[in-house]
Amino acid sequence: MIVLGISGAISHDPSAALFIDGKLVAAAEEERFIRDKHAKGRFPYEAARFCLEFAGIRPEAVDVVAFPHAEIPLGSLARWHYAARHWYAPDRALTALFNGNRRHHRNMVQLNKLISDLNIGGGKVRVEAVEHHLAHASSAYHLSGFREKTAILGIDGKGEYATTFFGYGENGRIHKIKEFYDPDSLGGLYGAMTEYLGFEMLDGEFKVMGMAPYGDPKRFDLSRLITFDERGFKVNTELVNVIGLRRYKDSNGKGYYFSPKLIEWLGPKREGDAIDDPYIDYAASIQHILEEVSLGLIDHYLGDILKDSGKICFAGGVALNVKLNQRIISRPDVKELFVQPAASDAGTAIGAASYVANELGDDIEPMAHAYLGPSYTTEQCIEACQQHAEKPSWERIDQVPQRAAQLLADGNPVAWFQGRMEFGPRALGNRSILGAPNTEGIADRINEQIKYRERWRPFCPSMLDRVAPQMLKTDHPAPYMTFTFDVAEGWKERVPEVVHEDGTARAQVVTRETNPRYYELIEALEGYTGSGVILNTSLNRRGEPMVCSPADALNMFFGSDLEYLIMEDLLVSK
């Protein structure tokens, strides 16, 4: 069975994923190909083309197209809840009751156009719509490899109407326990505060998370934003998650998902890059609220399942909140947490396709790694150098990991481009900027002179699998940078450039099996530093998608103060 997943239902992060007989063979985000971060309002034409071409599949051979957005019937509680909670905006409320989700029909038009334009299925392809949160759930559960009864958690801004999902998986089937509906959205609340704190919703939430450790969550009481107990929650739509005339608008007429009443209460919206008072405390407080509400709901709806098996899967944009994930892992009833590395809406292409493939009888193989995008040969890298306007100076080198390690040990940041591009927002050693984590000031240099982003932003350590239990004091799997861990005493001084303000690190544990060249590089650097750890951040500049092709890497290289770029077997230098 050949199933092509297509995402982009909520007007951002379109992607494509291809399953053949239950195996995920390719997945990619549209933004990487068209160089437009989050590719808002687009459908994944280039990503779908890549997946099919990589697998050697003719478009006509696709059996099913799976799409992570379904029509919600009038009898569903979701539509009535939405209408009642949005009655202050009667146009939206009445649309929900009489026409359903306003995106659904537009989505179907765009999806059918993509199918026709790419000749997918030869004009006869079967199209299966999957509820958005079921797609998130499947992307985590079916790809986790867990066989026992497994708790499933999904938290994001919203899908059709649902915002939060509690369920379980057993024998390959997903069962709903409880859903919450828009505007009662933890992801929406966090996103609205992300806008208030000066960042872009759907992009800056991880910046709020990174800012939070600098603040005091107890200094300001933000409990007016949400009422909650162990059974549920209700967002205060007088302040946040607002639509229509309730929105605050700036002098340019741009509307935000918070109201003028929030400004009256907390003060002006934050501007600029400084993490100044009182905004760091607001960030700490909203992070604390997210954690406390989420953990309380997990207790109530998933506690019994966790007592039985200890296994839990998590997807949705909030699943990328690594601080929340650390709290989940630390629960005594949790043995293992699997977070879909493409937890945001990009991952719903995987989720919709895996859900449909499972329903049609395929046995879904566990996700072995996230290296699911395009790769390029050394010859293609040479060709890109020859065609580039800057006429880069390059040489073909032997012992590539060893040469890279020497450059790093000398205190240089190195752009590292190799193998298949990662799927999801994290650079996992194939499209990365690297540094030696014991080189004083390397993190500030990369932030200020290469990525041109806020200087307080933290960096992640990639580490050898044999080092992780020593540095992180745990053997919990961590292949995707989806968790933070407390760094062991003694290690904070050894690798200070990858330890955050609160003494944690968002770690990637690297194995030789999944990425042998990157593993060899970290081993070679270990010979210089003695740590078996490397500083790793994505190969892109602020506001840009991660690089995809050699040409993208060269453009990034010449648009920053990077001095060394290694592309496959080439060393490019200034």
- Residue 403 has what DSSP assignment? H
The residue count for the chain? 574
**Are 552 and 35 contacting, i.e. CB atoms less than 8 angstroms apart?**
yes
Tokens of 358: 């499972």
DSSP conformation letters of 17-64: EEEETTEEEEEEEHHHHHT-GGGTT---HHHHHHHHHHHT--GGG--E
Q: Which amino acid is at 60?
A: E
Side-by-side strand order, sheet with 162-170:
173-181, 162-170, 150-155, 311-315, 336-339
Of 465, 478, 194, residue with least CA distance to 339: 478
Which alpha helices (DSSP H) does 56-170 contain, by range?
Answer: 77-85, 90-98, 102-117, 132-144
Distance between CA atoms of residues 323 and 281, nearest Å: 16
The active-site residue, picked from 12, 81, 86, 136, is: 12
Distance between CA atoms of residues 99 and 131, nearest Å: 17
Per the annotation, the verdict on 105 as an active-site residue is no
Of 214, 195, 307, 203, residue with least CA distance to 254: 195
DSSP conformation letters of 137-151: HHHHHHHH---S-EE
Distance between CA atoms of residues 42 and 40, nearest Å: 6
Which alpha helices (DSSP H) does 330-485 contain, by range?
Answer: 348-359, 378-387, 400-409, 442-445, 468-472
Beta strands 150-155 and 311-315 are: parallel
Beta strands 564-567 and 414-417 are: parallel
Tell me the three state secondary structure of residue 193: helix
Place of tokens 């109530």: 300
Question: Catalytic site residues?
Answer: 12
